[in-house]
C-alpha cells in the first residue's frame, strides 16, 4: 500500500474526481481517508474464518482485516462523516459459499456501508487449464458461476476502457487486472498529469482496443456483463437483506 494513499485520495477529491480504492484491507493508515468526499474503499474479504480466507488470500491475516474495518467505522463515527464509503467484497467460491448465511450479520457488525457478492473470474493466466481451476473454485450455487449465467461468453464492450487504474507506484495502466503494467500509459510520479496521459495518442489507442477487447490481456480475461450483487446498508430492520 502506497504510504501517501490518503494524501493522493485527498488531492483527487479536491480536484473533483471520484476515487475507488480496492484493497485487501491489511493497512492501518486510515486517518487520512476519513472525510475524503467521493472516496470509496472496497475491501476484499473472501472468507469469514482464517481457514477459508487463506484459501484465496494466501498469506493474509483475516484478523488484521477485521481490525481495519472496525477502525474505519469507529473513525467515521468520531469524525461524523459518511466518507469513505466502505464496501465489503466477498467472492463466492466453492469453499466459502456456505458462509453466505452468516455474511450479512458480520457485515452489519463491522459497520460497512455496502456488501457486494462477486463471481469468481478465472482467466487464462495460469499454468493449469481454466476448467481445472474452475472445478475447484466455482461454487455449486449457479447464481455465482459466470459460465452458467445468461449471455456468458458473448462479446461486449468492456467498461474498463472508460476507467483509469493507478498502481501504487504511480503507473497509469489500461485495466485493473494489468497488475504488472504491461499496458502502461505513463507514470503520474514522473511529471505527467492523468489527463495528459489519458488524452495522449497511446492512451486513446489503448482505450479503444480495451473497449473492443482486442489486446492479448483482454483475450485471456473472462470479464462478462455480470456485475456484483450489491446490498446497501438499511437504516431500519436487518442491515443487509436478501443476500441468501
Output the average pLDDT for the chain: 85
What mean pLDDT do residues 211-230 have? 71
The model's confidence at residue 156, banded by pLDDT at 50, 70 and 90, is low
Q: pTM score, two decimals?
A: 0.79
CB < 8 Å & 24+ apart, contacts of 229-238: 229/116, 229/117, 230/87, 230/114, 230/115, 230/116, 231/104, 231/114, 231/115, 231/116, 231/117, 232/113, 232/114, 233/108, 233/112, 233/113, 233/114, 233/115, 238/104, 238/108
Lowest mean pLDDT among 46-55, 190-199, 229-238: 229-238
pLDDT for the residue numbered 38: 95
- Would you state the pLDDT for residue 217? 79
Q: What is the mean pLDDT of residues 79-97?
A: 96
pLDDT band at 161 (very low <50, low <70, confident <90, very high): low
Q: What are phi and psi of 139, to 5 degrees?
A: -70, 165
d(CA 24, CA 22): 7
Amino acid at each position: 500500500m502506497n504510504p501517501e494513499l490518503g494524501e493522493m485520495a485527498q488531492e483527487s477529491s479536491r480536484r473533483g474526481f471520484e476515487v475507488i480504492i480496492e484493497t485487501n484491507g491489511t493497512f492501518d493508515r486510515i486517518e487520512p481517508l476519513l472525510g475524503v468526499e467521493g472516496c470509496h474503499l472496497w475491501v476484499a474479504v473472501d472468507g469469514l474464518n482464517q481457514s477459508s480466507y487463506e484459501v484465496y488470500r494466501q498469506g493474509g491475516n483475516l484478523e488484521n482485516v477485521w481490525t481495519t474495518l472496525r477502525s474505519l467505522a469507529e473513525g467515521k463515527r468520531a469524525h461524523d462523516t459518511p466518507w469513505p464509503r466502505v464496501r465489503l467484497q466477498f467472492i463466492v467460491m466453492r469453499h466459502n459459499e456456505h458462509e453466505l448465511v452468516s455474511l450479512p450479520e458480520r457485515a452489519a457488525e463491522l459497520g460497512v456501508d455496502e456488501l457486494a457478492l462477486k463471481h469468481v473470474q478465472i482467466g487464462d493466466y495460469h499454468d493449469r487449464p481454466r476448467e481445472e481451476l474452475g472445478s475447484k473454485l466455482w461454487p455449486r450455487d449457479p447464481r455465482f458461476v459466470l459460465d452458467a449465467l445468461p449471455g456468458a461468453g458473448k462479446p461486449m464492450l468492456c467498461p474498463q476502457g472508460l476507467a483509469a487504474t493507478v498502481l501504487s507506484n504511480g503507473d497509469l495502466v489500461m485495466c485493473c487486472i494489468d497488475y504488472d503494467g504491461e499496458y502502461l500509459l505513463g507514470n503520474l510520479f514522473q511529471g505527467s498529469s492523468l489527463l495528459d496521459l489519458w488524452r495522449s495518442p497511446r492512451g486513446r489507442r489503448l482505450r479503444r482496443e480495451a473497449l473492443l477487447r482486442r489486446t492479448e490481456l483482454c483475450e485471456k480475461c473472462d470479464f462478462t456483463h455480470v456485475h456484483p450483487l450489491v446490498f446497501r446498508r438499511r437504516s431500519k430492520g436487518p442491515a443487509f437483506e436478501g443476500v441468501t
